[in-house]
Chain A
């Protein structure tokens, strides 16, 4: 199970005065099991890029392969793509429309042409994965649910299609801290139990640091960085230059380093930070020590 993008370019408003290259010669490969984060300032081409991965947009030039199927070729059937790549848009709860939660979640699987039994089975599984109790919610109207629940139902609608690649665009947008945390945990558990590749597009560097093991950085349509979170977030100057930040924990560590504490570029998450501080402060109590503490991730 792999995705491969080759020299992807997408031009909006081609031929007009205000033509723009939303995606400019982007190439990357992702393997099964990876958890990829995509970051970039607004307008950097993140959304455009991911919409190519599930066939909603077709590139001006370049190719995309899901396993060995070239989804950018003319002959490919949309169902082939949609079966494999699931895309959850921002504020997905706005796409809910059916009379009951069960029916709405079943929309995707039904469109794949599955049997009624299979559809229900998938819906049940999806609801379990997102943490919506079947007995309680299946027959309720989606419009009766709370914001967080609606979002889970919407995500379930995509998961029910059992995609090998799950792409989520800002899944925590607009949620209160608890719901935010819940959704992140939900995504983690979905990945653990369903496998495949997960792609997370987000403005929240903390989330990216927590969840992903590889980060793609977009700027002005180009893919400017591709590496592990530790590498990417080590270069705070560069990120600031393109309108991005670093995870709050990393920023804190940098501030402390500037104040005299030995710096540690591997501090990215809150967990890292607490360990780092515990190590630094628990022993000699500050001061310019030469020894670098052990930081557990």
Chain B
């Protein structure tokens, strides 16, 4: 039930990938995703596969976790695959009545599906190997330059931290409220969309009241400890670049060159 949901996808391990600086991982993931759109054909994907395969192996995350990330979007993959296969015009490979499968269609379908799969694997790797708190630190650090433009970077990071901290608490509250209302005969499971929507009110109102109570207590606690905003604030665990981060950068540069080379020369 709700109890069993673990926060985020973080898979605890002591791999080199886990220990990389989160800023690096965020940027690399973005670069990786962009690179997927640079790939022109299957040779490029071979490069991608080899590289991401290496990273997955180094991360020591069991394959089944990586594949689990694909499960929910399996529908999308199947959807995309089917539509691409059936709708592209070209040399017909096989037909049956209205259904027409073309060579180009099949090619496209596989290509797009692979891109999607690689994209999700890459994204999953980021969240599997980075604790949400570290992710927050990384984002805060990367966005620091924008502070001058008026972006409330510190506050955003603090919000993320607080939200992350309270999600388990709020999930418990949700569970408790659901049970209490169910004890009074509320039904959250059956009924059409509108009926279920209305059934949410006895859940949402107490949840809000509870959440704002938490907010009030927290704000008071912070003030009581002289919290005064982000100016001059230091961190307990500051992010630092290490040797392995440099090695990672080199790896990424090689990877990117290979992909670009594939695009231009093949």
Main secondary structure of the interface of B (DSSP, over half): helix
- Digit string of B184-210 for contact with A (CB within 8 Å is 1, else 0)? 111100000000000001100110011
**Does residue A89 face the partner (Cβ distance < 8 Å to B)?**
yes
Q: In whole angstroms, how far apart are the Cα atoms of A88 and B187 in the complex?
A: 17
Say yes or no: A56-B177 contact (C-beta < 8 A), given A78-B187, A79-B185, A112-B185.
no
Q: Which of A94, A110, A158 contacts B210 (CB under 8 A)?
A: A94
Cβ < 8 Å to B, chain A residues 78-102: 78-79, 82, 86-89, 92, 94-97
Residues of A within 8 A of B210 (CB): 94
- Among residues of A, the one whose C-beta sits closest to the C-beta of B189 is A78
Q: Are the C-beta atoms of A111 and B3 separated by less than 8 Å?
A: no
Chain B residues with CB below 8 A from A56, complex form: 179, 182-183
Asked whether, in the complex, the Cβ of B183 is within 8 Å of the Cβ of A94, the reply is no
Q: Which residues from B are CB-within-8-Å of A78?
A: 182, 185, 187
- Asked if residues A111 and B177 are in contact (CB atoms below 8 Å), the reply is no
| Of A79, A89, A157, the contact of B176 (CB 8 Å cutoff) | A89
Complex Cα distance A108/B201, Å? 14
Within 8 A of B (CB), among A121-167: 143, 157-158, 161
As a 0/1 sequence over residues 267 to 289 of chain A, the CB contacts with chain B under 8 angstroms (1 = contact) are: 00000000000000000000000
Q: Shortest CB–CB separation between residue B107 and chain A, in angstroms?
A: 42
Min CB gap B152→A, angstroms:
32
* Interface assignment of A9: CB less than 8 Å from any CB of chain B: no
Q: Chain B nearest CB: distance from A168 CB in Å? A: 12
Do the beta carbons of B187 and A96 come within 8 Å of each other?
Answer: no
Verify if A51 is at the interface (C-beta below 8 Å from B): yes
Question: How far, in whole Å, are A112 and B173 apart by their CA atoms in the complex?
Answer: 25
User: Chain B's nearest CB lies how many Å from the CB of A104?
Assistant: 9
Q: Report the minimal beta-carbon distance from A274 to chain B, rounded to whole angstroms.
A: 39
Known: A89-B176, A97-B205. A82 touches B185 (CB 8 A): yes
Contact indicator B184/A94 (Cβ below 8 Å): no
Query: Are B184 and A158 in touch, CB under 8 angstroms?
Result: yes
Interface presence of A238 (CB below 8 A): no
Q: Cβ of A13 and Cβ of B202 under 8 Å apart?
A: no
Bound-complex Cα distance A56 to B210 (A): 22
Contact A111 B186 (CB under 8 A): yes
- State whether B180 touches A92 (Cβ < 8 A): yes
B4 at interface (Cβ–Cβ under 8 A)? yes
Contact residues in A for B186 (Cβ distance below 8 Å): 107, 111
CB distance from B186 to the nearest CB of A (A): 6
Q: Which residues of B have CB within 8 Å of A108?
A: 184-185
Contact-residue bracket for chain A: 20 to 34
Closest residue on chain A to residue B213 by CB atoms: A94
With both beta carbons as reference points, the residue of chain B lying nearest to A112 in the complex is identified as B185
Q: Which residues of A contact B205 (CB under 8 A)?
A: 97
Which residues in B have their C-beta under 8 angstroms from that of A82? 183-185
Q: Report Cα–Cα, A52/B206, bound state, in Å.
A: 24
| Cβ contact within 8 Å between B206 and A94 | yes
**CA A295 – CA B202 in complex, angstroms?**
50
Assess the B180–A89 pair: CB atoms within 8 A. Answer: yes
- The yes or no answer to A28 lying at the interface (CB within 8 A) is no
> B4 contacts A13, CB within 8 Å?
yes
Name the distance in Å between B256's Cβ and chain A's nearest Cβ: 40
Q: A202 at the A/B interface (Cβ < 8 Å)? A: no
Q: Is the CB of A94 within 8 A of B187?
A: no
At the interface, yes or no: A254 with Cβ under 8 Å from chain B? no
- With beta carbons under 8 angstroms apart, the residue of A94, A111, A112 that contacts B209 is A94
> In the bound complex, how far is the Cα of B51 from the Cα of A168, in angstroms?
59
A78 to B179, CA, bound (A): 13
Shortest CB-to-CB span from A140 to chain B, Å, is 16
**Those of B34-64 within 8 Å (CB) of chain A:** none
Please name the residue on chain B nearest to A96 by beta carbon.
B206
A-B contact pairs, 27 of them (CB 8 A): A13-B4, A56-B179, A78-B185, A78-B187, A82-B184, A86-B183, A87-B183, A88-B183, A89-B183, A94-B173, A94-B176, A94-B177, A94-B206, A95-B177, A95-B206, A96-B206, A97-B202, A97-B206, A97-B209, A107-B181, A107-B185, A107-B186, A108-B185, A111-B184, A112-B185, A143-B209, A161-B184
In the A-B complex, the 7 residue pairs with the closest CB atoms = A111-B185, A97-B205, A108-B184, A95-B180, A87-B183, A89-B180, A82-B185
